[in-house]
């Protein structure tokens, strides 16, 4: 048998593809890349400030959204916040 392999979704040196991560991890509840409401609210044009968004991702909300503290580094969470801020309606 080969050595034990980490179950982590991506090795630390892999590029962090925020759009793919969002689609795979958050898209189940935040539809269309965060552009539309699903089980969770629409994130595009969120009136929340960055600190709120950051802490919601880290801590989740009991009974509503899982906590992702530990799943992502602070730097990765910053990239997710930037991604949410940059969301625009799809063309066409």
What is the C-alpha to C-alpha distance for residues 74 and 20, in angstroms, rounded to an integer?
A: 18
Check residue 27 and report its DSSP letter: T
**Does residue 69 contact residue 62 with C-beta atoms inside 8 Å?**
no
- Taking CB under 6 A as the rule, which mask of x and - marks residues 31-70 in contact with ligand HEC? --------xxx-x--x-x----x--xx---x--xxx-x--
The distance of closest approach from Cβ of residue 1 to ligand HEC in the complex, given in angstroms and rounded to an integer, is 33
- Pick 47 or 92: Cβ nearer ligand HEC: 47
Asked whether position 82 contacts ligand HEC by CB under 6 A, the answer is: no
Q: Which of 25, 31, 55, 76 binds ligand HEC (CB under 6 A)?
A: 25
H-run or E-run covering 92: none
Query: Which of 28, 18, 27 lies closest to 72, judged by CA?
Result: 18
Asked whether position 85 contacts ligand HEC by CB under 6 A, the answer is: no
């Amino acid at each position: 048998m080969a050595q034990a392999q980490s179950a982590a979704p991506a090795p630390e040196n892999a590029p962090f593809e925020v759009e793919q991560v969002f689609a795979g991890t958050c898209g189940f509840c935040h539809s269309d890349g965060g552009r539309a409401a699903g089980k969770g609210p629409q994130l595009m044009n969120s009136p929340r400030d960055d600190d709120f968004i950051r802490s919601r991702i880290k801590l989740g909300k009991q009974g509503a959204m899982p906590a992702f503290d530990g799943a992502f580094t602070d730097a990765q969470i910053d990239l997710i916040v930037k991604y949410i801020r940059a969301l625009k309606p799809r063309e066409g």
